[in-house]
Chains A and B, each alone.
Chain A
Amino acid sequence: MKHHAFIAAGFGGQGVMLFGKILSLAAMYENLYTTWLPSYGPEMRGGTANCTVVLSEEYIASPVVDQPTEVIAFNIPSMYKFEKLLPENGILLLNSSVIDRDPERTDIQVFKIPANDIADELGNVKVQNMVMLGAYLKATGAVSFDSVKKALEKSLKGKKAELLDINLKAIEAGMNALVK
């Protein structure tokens, strides 16, 4: 049964919430059950904002997750805060442009993606979150690229529509950057 429950975390402004929303929306297009649960309000501890997303073939009882299947860390405090929750062999994706350290856990799968550098090369460092999203797709196969594209088209409307191309390119670049 398909079931993913991930926590994406980083500084405010790194697009962590959007990262989760796009994947959650894509899951909806694939007729999966999905929940998107944000941390909200001023985050006092560690300066992180995060969201918990569940994608599942079954009704999601708890949108609160104490053991995620994957963690996507956009900064150092988030990595340290959430790597602890992963099960053995769980997946940790790191934005290595920001995180220049190694996680403490050695019993998990770690993928380092220099997302800022890749995004910079594409011409807009802001799409680093989509680079990470591409890497997540490659690592998990949780949803298809087409569903993500549909979700992005739905989310980037009006003035933001012109950003669709670069976002899609960033996702592709992220997929290519992750070597299993």
Chain B
Amino acid sequence: MAEKVMVKGTEAIGEAAIRAGCRLYFGYPITPQSELTEYMSRRMPQVDGVFLQAESEVAAVNMLYGAASTGHRVMTSTSSPGYSLMQEGVSYIAGAELPVVFVNVVRGGPGLGDIQPAQSDYFQATKGGGHGDYRLVVYGPESLQEAVELTAKAFDVADKYRNPALILADGMLGQMMEPVEFPEFRDLSTLPDHSSWAMQGAKGREPHKITSFDINEYVLEQMNLRYQEKYKKIIENEQMWEEYKTDDADIIIVAYGTMGRIAKTIVNMAREKGVKAGLFRPITLWPYPYEALAKLADQAKLFFTVEMSMGQMVEDVKLAVNGKKTVEFYGRTGGVVPTPNEVLAKLMELI
């Protein structure tokens, strides 16, 4: 077993990416994730990788597009306003079916907002953000260890489906430290071979063309249907979630990421008060684990969604529960992290 090391969240994700075989990073500094950009600027030269600070997030995302077109593992990291700027490129990358890993360390919004932790970019992450019918695989880690594991997974899944993936973190996960165990370095020769489609030079073969474009609407529709086939497979194969003390739970708290972790404390506090609470924590935010959550609707009396937003994921909870039970919501926004006591008090009010 690897040795435990104490690292910051942003650095944990950066190191995990390098160990997953990522050797190209393009980014632009923005709080609260600049440490990740800085970390990559230190680490990439040490592993013969490429680090480039772009002139903007707009340029960065297009550098990703270019580098990913050549079949290499690439990533960037940013925070909310920066991810908004990248949306044009995200849409193109999804349309061109390029495996790219994005990290959004979410902060308070809208607009310039602030630099404190938030979950108010859920809609943008899971429902689009850019234009067109496309999806990203979205992971919401609760801890640094999970962030490390999901970063590696994001690269694998992006490669497997030729689809961009997103680690949706928040300022707290990015800034906090805790011990993690890193996996071994991926042997680069074991990375997936993309030579069948990547732009590597048309030597002894027909040229490869990579675009998100077709002027003929019927052809474009076919391209979209192909994306949908792929998304269907992702929905079938890639859903992840955690259930904590749900076996006998009357009340299901639904929360993800940092809030999901905090909710475990709330479950335990509620149980001390004799309330049978449990936690359903989606780990993939797209594909959302609707069916797994729906199963709990027969057993539970009440669903209670807690977010660091004014209520975004709660819409997916309602879709899953489908009117069978009441879905309540509590959230703080603007960068305020709800404390366990605060949420517990709200929960006790509901019952």
Contact = CB atoms under 8 A, between A and B. Distances in A.
Direct contact of A and B (CB under 8 A): yes
Contacts, number: 66
A35 B268 CA distance: 19
Interface in A11-69: 21, 24-25, 28, 33-38, 40-41, 60-67
A5 to B, nearest CB: 11
B277 interface: no
Nearest to A17: B177
Interface in B196-212: none
A41 B6 contact: no
B178 interface: yes
A24 B177 contact: yes
Interface stretch (B42-50, B227-235, B292-300, B334-342): B334-342
Contacts of B41: none
Interface residues of B, number: 26
Contacts of A33: 178-179
A24 B180 CA distance: 13
B62 interface: no
B261 A62 contact: yes
Listed residue (A21, A36, A40, A61) with the most chain B CB atoms within 10 angstroms of its CB: A61
B220 interface: no
A61 B177 contact: no
B341 A66 contact: yes
A28 B172 contact: no
A97 to B, nearest CB: 28
Interface string A56-89: 0000111111110000000000000000000000
B226 to A, nearest CB: 42
A25 B175 CA distance: 16
Nearest to B4: A28
A35 B177 contact: yes
Contacts of A37: 172, 175-177
Contact of A41 (B115, B264, B265, B337): B115
B147 to A, nearest CB: 13
Nearest to B172: A37
Interface string B107-140: 0000000111000000000000000000000000
A35 B178 contact: yes
Nearest to B31: A41
Contacts of A63: 172, 176, 178, 261-262
A36 B8 CA distance: 9
A64 B337 contact: yes
B117 to A, nearest CB: 10
Contacts of A34: 6, 178-179
Interface of A: 21, 24-25, 28, 33-38, 40-41, 60-67
16 contacts: A24-B177, A25-B6, A37-B175, A37-B176, A41-B115, A61-B264, A61-B265, A62-B264, A63-B178, A63-B261, A63-B262, A64-B339, A65-B339, A66-B339, A66-B340, A66-B341
Q: Lowest 9 A-B CB distances belong to which pairs?
A: A61-B264, A62-B265, A66-B339, A61-B265, A36-B177, A62-B262, A28-B179, A37-B176, A41-B115
